[in-house]
A and B are shown apart, each in its own frame.
Chain A
Amino acid sequence: MIRFDDVVKRFGDVVVLDELNFSVAPGEFVTLIGPSGSGKTTILRLLMTLEKVTSGQIFVDGECLSHMQRGSRLVPADEKYQRKVRQRIGMVFQQFNLFPNMKVLQNLTEAPIRSLGLSRAEAEERALELLELVGLTEKVNAHPSQLSGGQQQRVAIARALAMRPDMLLLDEVTSALDPELVAGVLALLKDIASSTDITFLCVTHEMNFARDVSDRVLMFDHGQIVEDAVPDKLFSEPDHERTRTFLRAVLERG
């Protein structure tokens, strides 16, 4: 369960999110679409605590990200509290961000051991299962630099799943990939979405994928939700002119 309550995010004078309200139900797959610069990445980064809200509040399973209860007062969240809330959320980045100094196996076991407290044996067992899921069992001892972009992104997905998150944030995870590698990664994500009860918040320009897997699609522009609908409605007969022009522009591009 994710909820944004009147969330405002400013960078200096630039208002990126303007009193944004929306929520995502447990197990739901929600896709964010919208033009570049409309604030989609910022939403994911706020949830991942990589940025702080300017005002308003974000709730994850009813717990506020930025503040915590101390006695009867609300005080700014400390590191320990944030770590607890963050535990439930995983993120996959456009640029993969694998740890280049670690082999694939250690990329997958590092956080489960150091953050969840798993034993090495447990973590490695989990890592091997996930490598099988993403089809990279034979790369267990490779370094990230020896992998193609598509393979790196699969490892990054496995790495996020190794933390057993309740929610997974996907930020244009196929945008940095060569065209022929995109389909494989999207198929993998669809597979994961249908076989787990993870809540997904996904930013993508892959409209066919969005239509295929999403429960709901949010169309963004200038930090506000223009339209919020089920995919068939949003892609076939959107209510708003802004959505129509955006979709037309995306389709023309490819």
Chain B
Amino acid sequence: MIWDWDYAWEVFPKIVGDGLRTAVVATVLGSLVAYTLGLVLALLRRSPIRVVSGITWAFIEFIRSTPLLVQIFFLFFVLPDIGLTLDPMTTGVIALGLHYATYTAEVYRAGIEAVPPGQWEAATALNLPRRRTWTAVILPQAVPRVLPALGNYTISMLKETPLLLMIGVLEIAGVARQVGSRAFRYVEPVTIAGVLFLVLSLAASLLVRWLERRVRYRN
């Protein structure tokens, strides 16, 4: 089996054009869902109302203990039965976001607990309203230092986007397989897909490293 440069150049634009865009869009939107929902879960988990924190705990454990692929299938095949039909891309974004939210929730929790107790005490001594203590004192200190950890989950998410193939969303790997199946020749498209993931992950890692240095400098 030898490498065919002409064929590689022929399929390259298609994999980059359709595949890369879909992978990036799914990862970016999925991350936004994971970052926001994760914060909400982290806060609910701390709720003084036992039922609320209990249900949140159970939800997080449940999502974490089941495979992402099963969750994707569930959203795609089961939700329409109860009258909620979403297009494949939306389903994928929600599934990725939901799944990773249970991990980012843990990241936020650690960040919140790393804020010194003296900050809470000063806020109480100044009679600052509870909500304002969160938004002006605790989260502005907790969130910046967890940004690198959140970024790492975005990189993981990127590498899981090929699962969306199962519900017909073709990103890099999906397009590569499709292209390959047309010509019965997979080496070039699959290699290109691998290299693309490598480049994206490395670029994202560099970004996270840079964030890490900034965060360390700030503290």
Contacts and interface: CB of A to CB of B under 8 A. Distances in A.
A114 interface: yes
A107 to B, nearest CB: 9
Interface stretch (B37-45, B136-144, B151-159, B169-177): B136-144
A79 B126 CA distance: 14
B121 A93 contact: yes
Interface stretch (B53-61, B72-80, B83-91, B127-135): B127-135
User: A-side binding surface: helix, strand, loop or mixed?
Assistant: loop
Interface of A: 48-50, 79, 83, 86-87, 89-91, 93, 95, 97-102, 110-111, 114-115, 159-160, 163
Contacts, number: 58
A48 B124 contact: yes
B218 to A, nearest CB: 9
Interface residues of B, number: 17
B126 A115 contact: yes
A110 B126 contact: yes
A100 B145 CA distance: 13
Contacts of B118: 93, 95, 97
7 contacts: A49-B124, A91-B121, A97-B118, A97-B122, A101-B141, A110-B128, A115-B127
A110 B124 CA distance: 13
Given A110-B136, A114-B132, A99 B127 contact: no
Nearest to A92: B125
Contacts of B141: 100-101
B126 A101 contact: no
B47 interface: no
Nearest to B135: A114
